[in-house]
Structure 1
Amino acid sequence: MEAKPMKESRTIQTKLVLPPDTNHMDSIFGGKVLAYIDEIAGITAMKHARRQVVVTASIDSVDFLSSAKVGDVLELEANVTSTGRTSMEVYVRVKSKNLQTGDEKLTTESFLTMVAMGDDGKPTPVPPVLPESVGEKLFFDTAPARREYRKLRVKPPRP
């Protein structure tokens, strides 16, 4: 399979934080942000794999670095940063922006592992990803360390 440039999977979404999306402090629910992250990662993986079905295999730790309030805009950006045989690592960055003041802040970042599914419902091969820019190469070059960390994290303890 021919490698696909990383930029081809780039996906951007904008979401408005509305009152039903927030808690009693007018801050967006973390679960809502996680749902947005999972959605954009899925779309990004679908674009790369050219498959309509992908599944979330894992979400690395998610740290909520700042909150978003009612009326803020969330800007989500995602890219496939590396691939395995059937899996794709997707990086998602979420920023919040106050449209009145122009203040922008990083809300969260996460890496997800998505798996492409074939018509038979089983994992199917995906094309390799080709990094081109310096930033893309950094994500790509550091992916093996993240993959090893995931393997260690999910390994069951032995008695």
Structure 2
Amino acid sequence: MTGKRAKESLVINTDQVMINDLNNYNTLFGGVLMKKLDNNATLSARRHARVKECVTASTDSIDFLHPIHQTDSVCVESFVSYTGNKSMEIFCKVIAEDMITGERRMAATAFLTFVALDEHKQAVKVPKVIPETEEEKFLYQSGEERAKRRRFRRDHSAELTRIIGLEKPWEKGVDEHDQISKLG
């Protein structure tokens, strides 16, 4: 399987901030931005893998760097920055632009991981990514370290899910519930 240039998966989406997207601080809700990131990253993954379906395997990180206000536009850029055998790391950057002054600032960055699926919902091998720009090369070269951290975190999550319970709090024993109440 041959590689594809990172810019072939580039997706750019610019939107305005609407009043119903604002939290009580009059800045963009983090969850609204997360939805925009996931939508953009999905398209980048599908564009790279050229499959009907790609699923989000993890949201590796979202760093909120500057608040986004109602007077701003929100530009989300995403592209495949690193690939494994069957997974793709998508890098997203969010640029806020004050529509009155024209000031632009990096509002957030994020890494998400996606898996491409075939018609039977099975993971398929994805093309390698070929970085060309300085930004793409930096992200690609640091990608293996992020992949190692993802594997460690995934192993830790698997261990955690074996330990944590699914019981409803009100179904736990009285003594155990009282201990939990005293901690909170």
TM (normalized to structure 2)? 0.82
Residue correspondences, number: 159
Alignment correspondent of 2:89: 89
Distance (Å, rounded) in 1 between the aligned partners of 2:152 and 2:120: 30
Q: How far apart in 2 are the matches of 1:19 and 1:28?
A: 9
Aligned ranges 1:54-93 → 2 under 5 Å? 54-93=54-93
Determine if the alignment matches structure 1 residue 112 to structure 2 residue 116: no
Q: Secondary structure at the match of 2:142?
A: helix
Within 5 Å, which residues of 2 pair with 1:1-159? Answer: 1-156=1-156, 157=159
Q: Which has the higher contact order (CA 8 A, sep 6+)?
A: 1
Aligned equivalents of 1:5 and 1:39: distance in 2?
21
**Any runs of at least 4 consecutive aligned residues in structure 1 with deviations exceeding 4 A, and if so which?**
none
Which residue identity does 1:62 align to in structure 2? I
Counterpart Cα distance in 2 of 1:112 and 1:25:
27
> Are the aligned partners of 2:75 and 2:94 in contact in 1 as well (CA < 8 Å)?
yes
Preserved contact between residue 71 and residue 100 of structure 2 (Cα < 8 Å): no
CA contact (8 A) 1:18 1:71 kept: no
Structure 2 residue runs without a partner (length 5+):
164-184
CA contact (8 A) 1:116 1:124 kept: yes
Q: Distance in 1 between matches of 2:67 and 2:111?
A: 19
Distance 1:121 1:153 in 2: 24
Give 3-state SS (helix, strand or coil) of 1:13's partner.
Answer: strand
Q: Percent identity?
A: 34
Alignment check: 8 A CA contact 2:117 2:124 kept? yes
Structure 1: stretches of 5+ with no match in the other structure: none
Larger Rg: 2
What is the TM-score of this pair, normalised by structure 1?
0.95
